[in-house]
């Protein structure tokens, strides 16, 4: 596999200045052990600047959300993509299932945020995923096809040359329940196939992350699936030992 592994930590609404400093000092140890893969942390927006100062180059910075607007203006409480770039972000998560379920972000909003991220020069990590009910009723591919399709329709397949997709089954997020390797591989192959139907070269290069209760003890088997190119890690990204063990699993599988 020529695609590089990306292990991304989604801290969600967790952390404090002092807790972040401890976590980052532990994550920054032995940087050269992870040279064959990319590591990314996505802290809450207020901490981006201080986290960036502490990262020391070996770990990339991303945000968890951005405005769908592309120009500054009267949008109280929103964060413009350009501002994230100014603080050192390279990536931004868009369409996380918590944003979709708790903050009413629909496919059209997510597609606008994806486009706004790219307009600012950020690499969007587009999250897609089905609920348990949808999986059990056999609707997984229809749901994922719709979620990905909205972005493909708005931005075109070419946009995926500079984007990442994260498959996060909603039933696996924060539940301790993970997709089996077979479910992960089958679903990732489906997503790659959706891209390949429009552009085989882009499909082959786009990184597809798996997310949902990835931990040190299940990372290696999930990451060894042909179409899994990394992980979007929630709970386990807040514990340095867990996150580093997941990164070590990716590094061990890396062909670089
Ligand atoms: P989890 O979260 O690893 O805690 O399941 C993943 C995510 O929501 O990105």
Tokens 């040279």 label which residue? 35
pLDDT-above-90 percentage for the chain: 95
Closest approach atom of ligand 1 to CA 236: 3
**256 band by pLDDT with thresholds 50, 70 and 90:** low
pLDDT of 190 over the 70 cut: yes
Q: Find the DSSP H helices in 31-180.
A: 48-55, 81-86, 97-102, 107-120, 132-136, 140-155
Report the separation in Å between the CA atom of 143 and the middle of ligand 1, taken as the mean of its atom positions: 19
242 noted as active-site residue: no
Q: Is 241 exposed, middle or buried (0-12, 13-18, 19+ CB in 10 A)?
A: exposed
Q: How confident is the model at residue 106 (pLDDT cuts 50, 70, 90)?
A: very high
- Tell if the pTM clears 0.95, that is, is over it: yes
Atom of ligand 1 nearest to the CA of 175: 5
pLDDT of residue 57: 72
Confidence of residue 138 (pLDDT cuts 50, 70, 90): very high
Residue 64 reports pLDDT greater than 70? yes
- Residue 96 is a catalytic residue: yes
Testing ligand 1's pocket by substitution, the residue of 9, 14, 173, 179 carrying the most ligand atoms inside 8 A of its CB is 173
pLDDT over 70 at 55, yes or no: yes
- pLDDT band for position 136 (50/70/90)? very high
The architecture (CATH level 2) of 5-254 comes to Alpha-Beta Barrel (3.20)
Pocket of ligand 1 (CB under 6 A): 10, 168, 173-174, 211-214, 232-236
Q: Output the average pLDDT for the chain.
A: 96
Confidence label for 255 from pLDDT (cuts 50, 70 and 90): low
> Does the pLDDT of residue 25 top 60, yes or no?
yes
Q: Separation of 96 CA from ligand 1 center, angstroms?
A: 10
**Alpha-carbon dihedral of residues 111, 42, 18, 67, nearest 10 degrees?**
-20
The whole-number pLDDT of residue 1 equals 46
**List of residues 6+ apart from 194 with CB closer than 8 A:** 144, 145, 148, 149, 152
Neighbouring C-alpha atoms within 13 Å toward the C-beta of 172: 24
Q: What is the pLDDT of residue 32?
A: 83
pLDDT level of residue 58 (50, 70, 90 thresholds): confident
**pLDDT digits over 213-238, tens only?**
999 999 999 999 999 999 999 999 99
- For the CA of 174, the closest atom of ligand 1 is 5
* 155-168 confidence digits (pLDDT tens): 999 999 999 999 99
* Mean pLDDT on 38-64: 95
Burial state string for 176-198 with b = 16 or more CB within 10 A and e = fewer than 16: eebbebebbbebbbbbbebbbee
């Amino acid at each position: 596999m020529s695609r590089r592994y990306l292990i991304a930590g989604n801290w969600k609404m967790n952390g404090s200045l002092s807790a972040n400093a401890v976590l980052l000092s532990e994550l920054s140890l032995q940087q050269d052990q992870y040279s064959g893969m990319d590591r990314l942390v996505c802290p809450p927006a207020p901490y981006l600047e201080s986290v960036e100062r502490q990262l020391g180059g070996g770990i990339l910075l991303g945000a968890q959300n951005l405005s769908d607007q592309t120009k500054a203006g009267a949008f109280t409480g929103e964060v413009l993509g350009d501002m994230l770039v100014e603080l050192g972000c390279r990536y931004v998560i868009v369409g996380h299932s918590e944003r979709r379920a708790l903050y009413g972000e629909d496919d059209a909003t997510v597609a606008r945020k994806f486009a706004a991220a790219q307009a600012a020069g950020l690499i969007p990590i587009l999250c897609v995923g089905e609920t348990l009910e949808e999986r059990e009723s056999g609707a997984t591919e229809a749901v994922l096809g719709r979620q990905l399709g909205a972005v493909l329709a708005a931005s075109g397949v070419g946009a995926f040359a500079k984007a990442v997709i994260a498959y996060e089954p909603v039933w696996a997020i924060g539940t301790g329940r993970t997709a089996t390797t077979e479910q992960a591989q089958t679903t990732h192959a489906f997503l790659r196939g959706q891209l390949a139907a429009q552009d085989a070269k882009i499909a082959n290069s786009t990184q597809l992350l798996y997310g949902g209760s990835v931990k040190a003890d299940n990372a290696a088997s999930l990451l060894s699936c042909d179409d899994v190119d990394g992980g979007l890690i929630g709970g386990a990204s807040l514990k340095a030992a867990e996150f580093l063990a997941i990164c070590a699993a990716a590094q061990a599988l890396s062909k670089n």
